[in-house]
Amino acid sequence: MVPQKETHPPESAEVRENMSSAEMVVVGEKISIGKGTCFLCHTMGSHGSRAPDLAGIGGRAAERIEGYSDIDYLAESLFEPGAYIVEGYNPIMTPAHKAPISLTQPEVLAVIAYLQSLGGSPTVTMKTNLKYSADPSATATPAPTLVVSNDEASASYDNLSGDELFNKYACMACHSLTDPVQLLGPSLYDVGDRLSRAEILESIIDPDAVVTEGFVKGVMSATLQGAGFDEDITPQQLRTLVEFLSQKKGS
C-alpha cells in the first residue's frame, strides 16, 4: 500500500514575449524560487551551501570563463551545468531544460535576467538568441504528437531497470551510488546494507519520516514534489527501484 500525500505544484509565473528586462527579473526570481528549485542547493549571501552562492553572480559571471560574456556563462550554467564546475563543489546540477526541472527557453531567459540583476545589470531580453536555441532553419511545422495521459506515460517506463529509473528521476543529482560521498543527499552506495527494503520504500514515498543526521528535513520531499515524482511513479517502478537500491551493499 502506497500512502497518498497531498502535493501542490510550484507557484506559476507568467512568461510573456513582450516583457521588459525589469519584468523578466521579477518573473525570473519567481521561477528560481519555484519551478527552478534553485534555492534547494544555492544560497544568497551565505557560505557552506551545496552549490555556489548566488549573491553577486551578475557581477562576476563575465569573469568566470575567458571569452564568455555574462549571458554566455549563465546560459551554459543552466543548459550544461557540468561544463564548468566552480572549485570546491560537486557536479550535482542537472540541465535546467531537462527533467526534472524542464524550464522552457523563455523561462531560462527570465532566470538569466534575474541572475544578471544579482550584482549586475540585466541586458538579456526575450529576443536574445542563445547558442542553445532551437535551430532557426528547422521547419516551423511540428511533427504530429501522440498525447497520452500521465498514467500511460509512466506505465511505459515500467520495463526500465533500477539504474535507468534512478537516472530517469534524476536521483543522481542528489545521491551518489558509487562512492561514500555526500552530495545534496546522503550516499546510497551502501544503502542496502543499512536499510531494509521497507525502510528504503519509506524513504522514497515519505522522505521526511526519517531524516539522516546532518541533512535538512523537507529538502527531498520538496525536490520530489517539484519534479512531479509523486504523480509519475508507478507501483511497479517503486518495486524495481527499491529492489535496485537494496542491492547496494558498498565495497
Higher-confidence position of 15 and 112: 112
For the cut 60, the answer to whether the pLDDT of residue 111 exceeds it is yes
Say if CB 64 and CB 71 are below 8 A apart: no
Higher-confidence position of 170 and 140: 170
Report the pLDDT value the prediction gives residue 135, as an integer from 0 to 100.
39
Say if CB 126 and CB 85 are below 8 A apart: no
Higher-confidence position of 145 and 74: 74
Range with the lowest mean pLDDT among 46-50, 178-182, 201-205, 230-234? 46-50
Peptide bond into 207 cis (omega under 30): no
User: Could you report how far apart the first and last alpha carbons of the chain are, in Å?
Assistant: 33
- Give 150-181 pLDDT, tens digit per residue: 455 455 667 889 988 888 887 887 888 888 88
Kindly report the average pLDDT of the chain as a whole number.
82
For the cut 90, the answer to whether the pLDDT of residue 113 exceeds it is yes
Every domain of the chain with CATH number 1.10.760.10 lies at: 21-117, 150-246
Q: Is the pTM of this model over 0.75?
A: no
What CATH code would you report for 21-117?
1.10.760.10
The CATH number, out of the four listed (3.30.300.30, 3.40.50.10790, 1.10.760.10, 1.25.40.10), of the domain defined by the range 150-246: 1.10.760.10
Report the pLDDT value the prediction gives residue 213, as an integer from 0 to 100.
86
Encode 29-49: b = buried (16+ Cβ within 10 Å), e = exposed. Answer: bbbbbbbbbbebbbeeeeeeb
For the cut 50, the answer to whether the pLDDT of residue 140 exceeds it is no
For the cut 60, the answer to whether the pLDDT of residue 147 exceeds it is no
Percent of the chain whose pLDDT exceeds 90: 42
Mean pLDDT of 242-248: 94
Handedness of CA 146, 149, 152, 158 (dihedral sign): positive
Higher-confidence position of 76 and 181: 76
Nearest to 114 by CA among 26, 43, 13: 26
Report the pLDDT value the prediction gives residue 58, as an integer from 0 to 100.
94
Report the pLDDT value the prediction gives residue 138, as an integer from 0 to 100.
33
With a CB cutoff of 8 Å and minimum separation 6, the contacts of 198 are none
For the cut 60, the answer to whether the pLDDT of residue 238 exceeds it is yes
- Give 77-95 pLDDT, tens digit per residue: 999 998 998 888 877 788 8
Q: Is 164 left (phi over 0), alpha (psi -120 to 50) or beta?
A: alpha
For the cut 50, the answer to whether the pLDDT of residue 223 exceeds it is yes
